Amino acid sequence: MKDIITLGIESSCDETSVAIVKNGREVLTNIINTQIEIHKQFGGVVPEIASRKHIENISEVTKQALKEANINFEDIDLVACTYGPGLVGALLVGVGYAKALSFALNKPLIGVNHIEGHIAANYITFKELEPPFLCLIISGGHTHLVYIEDYTQFKILGKTRDDAIGEAYDKVARVIGLEYPGGPKIDKLAKEGQENIKLPETYFDNLDFSFSGIKTAVLNLNHKEPNINKADLCASFEKATTDMLINNTTKAINEMKVNKIALAGGVSANSYIRERFKILGKELGIDIYYPELKLCTDNAAMIASAGYYNFIAGNVSGMELNAVPNLKIG
């Protein structure tokens, strides 16, 4: 069969990324132009600035990707872009650019759900991984437990009822004086601390999550005891949030009778969470997958991969494709 080359575009938040991926799993290039340095001074992503920066960068990042993959526009078979969920102005830049490319090159356009992209990051890291499996998507915007029936078929088993886990990490980091994005800073500082502070964990009858309770508890504690050991607080926060993830995932494993679990999303870069899931895998005798670090956070290679599998399934978008900020999965 002829190779299929996908050009993927990701612009849903603060990363302008363009990737070229062969046959859905082989990354020829994955350029990520991050705006973190710009948004850092505001303590979080400023949507207006994000869209403006995407506009400034997208053409240059695309040129760079083609150069690095050593291909021309004519070699591209598919154009895939994130069309939601995310910041509407930021998404529109990628969608508009992808539509123009698809039209000019006369190649199919594939609109990709960002969450499906995070799941697909695992296909790039693990060439042998195939559905069905269970995926825990933990990022700045999402916390979902999903049963992956097939490449484009998903069943939502549980999701957060309030804050996404990454949102809680970033907020906790900010109040204890760590820079945006706080997740990686908490990861680092926690290694110097003890899990000796009791924090509230929230559980429901079903597989939903909630992280606003623990977030508020940490904020109040830090306010009441400004001299509290920040490393201990980070370690205890990591432990409690991971306990909640492990609890629901274990329930889902029993319910769905799966023997493969994949993690995905920015928070799956967390070293403590990775370690705890590795231990869980050993205990239960099941395989645990998590994408290589660069593919955990937002990038276009995962979008190209998900775009490829949507193309194979016949899900091609038309020129009416639009940004859908609150796009759901499943």
As measured in angstroms, the least distance from the Cβ of 297 to ligand KG4 is 3
Binder of ligand KG4 out of 166, 193, 291, 307 (CB under 6 A) = 166
22: buried, middle or exposed (CB in 10 Å: 19+, 13-18, 0-12)?
middle
Q: How far is CA 119 from CA 11, 127, 170, in A?
A: 17, 13, 22
Please tell me the count of residues contacting ligand KG4 according to CB under 6 A. 19
Would you count residue 116 as binding ligand KG4 (CB under 6 A)? Answer: no
As measured in angstroms, the least distance from the Cβ of 217 to Zn ion is 26
Would you count residue 297 as binding ligand KG4 (CB under 6 A)? Answer: yes
Chain residues in the site for Zn ion (CB under 5 A): 139, 298
Would you count residue 94 as binding ligand KG4 (CB under 6 A)? Answer: no
Which C-beta is closer to Zn ion: that of 139 or that of 305? 139
As measured in angstroms, the least distance from the Cβ of 112 to ligand KG4 is 13
How far apart CA 229 and CA 246 sit, in angstroms, is 26
Length in residues, the chain = 330
The tokens of 134 are what? 């269970």
Would you count residue 117 as binding ligand KG4 (CB under 6 A)? Answer: no
| Helix (H), strand (E) at residue 307 | helix 300-312
Q: Which residue has the tokens 């504690």?
A: 221
| Residue 122 binding result from ligand KG4, Zn ion, none, given CB thresholds of 5 to 8 Å by partner type | none
How far apart CA 201 and CA 195 sit, in angstroms, is 14
**CA gyration radius, the chain:** 20
Which C-beta is closer to Zn ion: that of 163 or that of 298? 298
As measured in angstroms, the least distance from the Cβ of 222 to ligand KG4 is 18
Written as one letter, the residue type at 91 is L
Which C-beta is closer to Zn ion: that of 193 or that of 265? 265
Would you count residue 84 as binding ligand KG4 (CB under 6 A)? Answer: no
200: buried, middle or exposed (CB in 10 Å: 19+, 13-18, 0-12)?
exposed
Which C-beta is closer to Zn ion: that of 140 or that of 193? 140
Q: Choose one: 20-28, 148-156, 209-217, 264-272; the region binding ligand KG4 (CB under 6 A).
A: 264-272
| Residue 269 binding result from Zn ion, ligand KG4, none, given CB thresholds of 5 to 8 Å by partner type | ligand KG4
Would you count residue 298 as binding ligand KG4 (CB under 6 A)? Answer: yes
How far apart CA 55 and CA 47 sit, in angstroms, is 13
| Residue 169 binding result from ligand KG4, Zn ion, none, given CB thresholds of 5 to 8 Å by partner type | ligand KG4
Q: How far is CA 256 from CA 18, 69, 144, 152, 203, in A?
A: 36, 40, 15, 18, 19
Which C-beta is closer to ligand KG4: that of 15 or that of 147? 15
| Residue 181 binding result from Zn ion, ligand KG4, none, given CB thresholds of 5 to 8 Å by partner type | ligand KG4
As measured in angstroms, the least distance from the Cβ of 106 to ligand KG4 is 31
The tokens of 13 are what? 């938040």
As measured in angstroms, the least distance from the Cβ of 291 to ligand KG4 is 10
Enumerate residues 6+ apart whose C-beta is below 8 A from 251.
207
Would you count residue 139 as binding ligand KG4 (CB under 6 A)? Answer: yes
Binding residues for ligand KG4, rule: CB under 6 A, are 13, 139-141, 166, 169-170, 181-184, 187, 265-267, 269-270, 297-298
